[in-house]
Amino acid sequence: MSHNFCRELLKQVMKDVRKNVSKAVIKESWAYNYGDGTMEFHIHHCKELPEEFYWHGRSCCLWNAKFSGWSEYLDRLGKKKAG
């Protein structure tokens, strides 16, 4: 299965992420695939929020999970998202 659309979604949201989030926070982000369509996205030690940021849900791939996680993170920060 091609995930070019998912990769493009992530590419677009990362434009806003880079405007609003430090490189250190971006570097500490990570995603995990449980293998059954359930995924997680984490950011540790982010100064912008009072606690570790965590997103979980159903995604077709890690690119889509990262897109969903970053989108939710920007929402919590009250920042605009691309697209």
d(CA 44, CA 67): 17
User: 6-61: per-residue pLDDT in tens?
Assistant: 999 999 999 999 998 889 889 889 999 999 999 999 987 666 666 678 999 999 99
43, with CB counted inside 10 A (0-12, 13-18, 19+), is: buried
Q: How many domains does the chain have?
A: 1
Q: Is residue 1 part of a domain?
A: no
Q: What is the pLDDT of residue 18?
A: 95
Name every residue whose Cβ is closer than 8 Å to that of residue 57 and which is 6 or more positions away in sequence: 38, 39, 65, 68
Half-sphere exposure of 5 (CA within 13 A, CB side): 4
Q: Is residue 62 part of a domain?
A: yes
User: 57-80: per-residue pLDDT in tens?
Assistant: 999 999 999 999 999 999 988 876
Q: Is residue 6 part of a domain?
A: no
β-pair partners for 31 = 41
Q: Is residue 33 part of a domain?
A: yes
Q: Is residue 39 part of a domain?
A: yes
Domain that holds residue 47: 19-77
Q: What is the pTM of this model?
A: 0.87
